Structure 1
Amino acid sequence: MVSSRLASLAFLVSVTVVNAVSNGHCTETILPLSIIANNTEIKLSAPRSQMEVSDLVTRISSLTSNLTSEIVGGPRVNNATYRIWTQLCVPTKPDASKTVELAVHGAGFDHSYWNFGGDGSKYNYVEAVLTAGHSILIYDRLGTGQSDKPDGITEVQSPTEIEIAAQLVKYLRGSPKGNQFSRVIGIGHSFGSATLLGLVSKYGDVLDATILTGFAVAGGINYISYPAIGWTIASVQNPKRFGALPSSYVVSEGVSNSQHFFFHYGGYETAILNAAEAMKSTATLGELFVQLGAPALSYTKPVFVVTGDKDFAVCTGNCYQKFNGVNIVEATKQVFPAVAADKFSTWIPATTGHATNLHLSAPETYGKIQQWIGKL
């Protein structure tokens, strides 16, 4: 059960929209979630120019960087209620396990990472889940999509995102829309995977299983990869889409930067790269400069790590490089010390970069994930 330490959930529903999809139906709901998070004081003001952001990226990506020690201060409690956009999709023919997956997207995307391309798309993970007979909740993380966009330095940080994910687990355990689920499985991508690690690190066996994609032993994005994405003030990069956001919100600079960071040449369709660029979402300085990766000491449930062999963001382009005698994807076991060896598995799709779901390997990857869930 979810720990009693979780803040209470406000069940008031603001907006509900029901849509039919292949093999099921989806219900969109904006949930007001009340959280208390132990954020971190960041000694930064909102950037006054792109030059300031570029300087921060250059400094933190240096191999001898001490930027975090300069700007990271003590704890800062964030007690707030946020409106979070969610979509719960339920299959037409659910399997007997009554499984629901909680999908947490990474930085640079919103919920559309999980249903990319819509009905019939081979990149649509939601459709693969429904076909397998499972339900899935996707949502816009705080600061993205249709969810609230508060201060990007003091509020939108990892601890707050972790508490929001915890509240969503509680929501799924509470028979939402009359659906009773017997198990909740978390699946994340990149920053979303780090969020799930933070969730089970704090709350133990709050999930019945955890799937981490775009993730490796470091527990998050390597700072040295930041220049590749070209973090740019969002309102500067695309005033039409992001003009109302404060300068603490950033996006990738352009399509070539998206390619460098998220894709591996030869493993994707050009149209998908361009679509991802057109649909890209934001990250915040609070997320980028305060990362969490504490071991999940009390988590004992199954773990599956799925990371492309050419993932530049977390593996610097080679996920078969060794760490403590094993490749760095397998080495992720070290942050799950209480998980039995037979409950920890990995899959490294070939010719695949950081945006796991947007490569040609996606259908095979989805099959591996659902096969793994089916064996639990």
Structure 2
Amino acid sequence: MRSLRVLVTSLLTGCAVLAGVLVIPASAAAATPKCSIVSQPVSVIPLLPMTAKGQLCVPDTGTPKTMQLLLHGATYNRVYWDLPYQPARYSYQRDMATRGLATFAVDELGVGGSSRPLSTLLTGAAQASAVHQLVGDLRAGRVDGVRYDKVVLVGHSAGSAISVIEAATYRDVDGVILTGVTHLPNVPVVVGDVVFGLYPVTLDPQLGPRGDDPGYLTTKPGTRGPMYFGPAQTDPLAVAADEAYAKDTVSATSLLDIIGLGLVSPLSRGIDVPVLLVNGTDDTGFCGLIRDCSTAEALRAQEAPYFSAAAQLSVYVLSGAGHSVALATNSPDYRNVTRDWLSQYVG
């Protein structure tokens, strides 16, 4: 597996050099991303202190007063937001920083560099509590010394569900961006992905040596492409980078209330700040059978009953993209829409 990472790294480095100047217009490259790894203490289980580790990316000039707190999906880690391949095309964090915006991508508890307790101790509610504490830390200046006036949650898939739980429970954020999610998943596809695409991490040659217990699940080798990418907007090298760097685990226990509370229930009606919902038109897990993602208008009509008037629900669909919209070849389109939405609804 180390040889795979070396091969992927060499391929991606060369491609990134070629692609870096092709995607970002010169006018948008005034700021240079300044990224650093930080760790924050969180407490979600009595007498068991934990740490949430993440990557902070800010522009090298100016001091943004709004922070986007980024939450990855199940079997992902924070690298989802900063893929080390063609960063000008795929890195959400570096793209935002070049446009003067700040982001903080965290490894959720049980993932990557954050604390990884027994899998049975983690729930969706516990994840939301940890995020709530991070929101408070960002506002108080305890993360990087900057007191952020506004915090926006940006979730992907299970991270979107955690965002719903957090925002509806604590009501402490200024906006919510949900990607790769609808309230009525395509159950046959999702169940098939779980049954045939996931297995205990102890069986995985890449992540098994980490020592996590078998209650943590990850994707079987070679399954991430079909599960997470739409064929119309996929670069095979992006899939390889996803497999090598962004693949991680999810606690089976946490999936239960992440799905029950964050995806299926009407809890999202408790969100009282603006919401942007983004899906790929070819996301087979959340579109197609019950949800029509062919147009933003169709999807908004179906999702609007799950949100209050205060959410001012906005919807965007990324043409040809699969589940992981941030890693689609046309992902810059979705980031442009995100920035416009932030400017209009958050400031």
Report deviation, 1:89: 1.9
Q: Would you say how many aligned residue pairs link Structure 1 and Structure 2?
A: 304
Match of 1:313 among 277, 285, 296: 285
Q: Following TM superposition, by how much is the alpha carbon of 1:222 offset from its aligned partner in structure 2, in angstroms?
A: 4.2
242, 254, 263: which one aligns with 1:276: 242
2:54 to 69, 73, 86: 86
What are the within-5 Å matches in structure 2 for residues 189-338 of structure 1? 189-204=156-171, 206-218=172-184, 222=187, 224-229=189-194, 230-238=197-205, 241-255=208-222, 257-279=223-245, 280-290=247-257, 291=259, 292-293=261-262, 294=265, 295-316=267-288, 319-320=291-292, 327-328=298-299, 330-338=301-309
| Separation in structure 1 between the aligned mates of residue 291 and residue 165 of structure 2, nearest angstrom | 22
DSSP 3-state at the match of 1:178: coil
1:131 to 68, 77, 98: 98
Amino acid at match of 1:87: Q
Report if aligned partners of 2:207, 2:248 keep a CA contact under 8 Å in 1: no
Q: Return 284-293 or 239-248, whichever deviates more.
A: 239-248
Give the share of equivalent positions with the same residue, in percent. 24
CA drift of 1:242 comes to: 4.1
TM-score (norm 1): 0.75
Structure 2: unaligned runs, 5 residues or longer:
1-30
- Which whole-Å CA distance do the structure 1 matches of 2:81 and 2:190 have between them? 24
Runs of 5+ unmatched residues, structure 1: 1-21, 37-77
Q: Which amino acid aligns with 2:156?
A: H
CA distance in 1, matches of 2:177, 2:92: 13
C-alpha spacing 1:245/1:329, structure 2 compared with 1 (3 Å): farther
Alpha-carbon distance, 1:264 to partner: 1.0
In structure 2, what residue type is equivalent to 1:357? A
Q: Is the 8 A contact 1:202 1:296 kept in 2?
A: no
1:257-288 Cα shifts (integer Å, max 9, x gaps): 21221011121101111221222111121123
User: What secondary structure sits across from 1:147 in the alignment?
Assistant: coil
Structure 2 vs 1, CA of residues 329 and 119 (structure 1 numbering), >3 Å: closer, same or farther?
same
1:195-253 deviations in whole A, cap 9, x for unaligned? 0000112112x1101100101123x7847413225111112122665451111111111
Q: Who is 1:161 aligned against? A: 127
The AA in structure 2 aligned to 1:23 is T
Q: Match of 1:151?
A: 118
Match 1:185 to one of 138, 145, 152: 152
Instruction: State the alpha-carbon separation in 2 of the partners of residues 236 and 150 from structure 1.
Output: 19
Give, as a single letter, the amino acid of the residue that structure 2 aligns with 1:83: T
Structure 1 position 32 matched with structure 2 position 41: yes
The superposition leaves residues 177-209 of structure 1 with CA deviations (integer Å, 9 ceiling, x where unpaired) of 2212221111000000000000112112x1101
Amino acid at match of 1:88: L
**Secondary structure class of the residue paired with 2:122:** coil
**Contact 2:300–2:314 (Cα < 8 Å) also in 1:** no
Structure 2 distance, partners of 1:305, 1:79, is 37
- 1: CA distance, partners of 2:38 / 2:270: 32
C-alpha separation in 2, matches of 1:117 and 1:311: 23
Q: Deviations over 1:119-149 (max 9, x none)?
A: 7431000012112211111111111111111
Give the residue type in structure 1 aligned to 2:302. Answer: A
Residue in 2 that maps onto 1:357: 326
- Give RMSD over aligned pairs: 2.4
Q: Structure 1 residue runs of 4+, over 6 Å off?
A: none
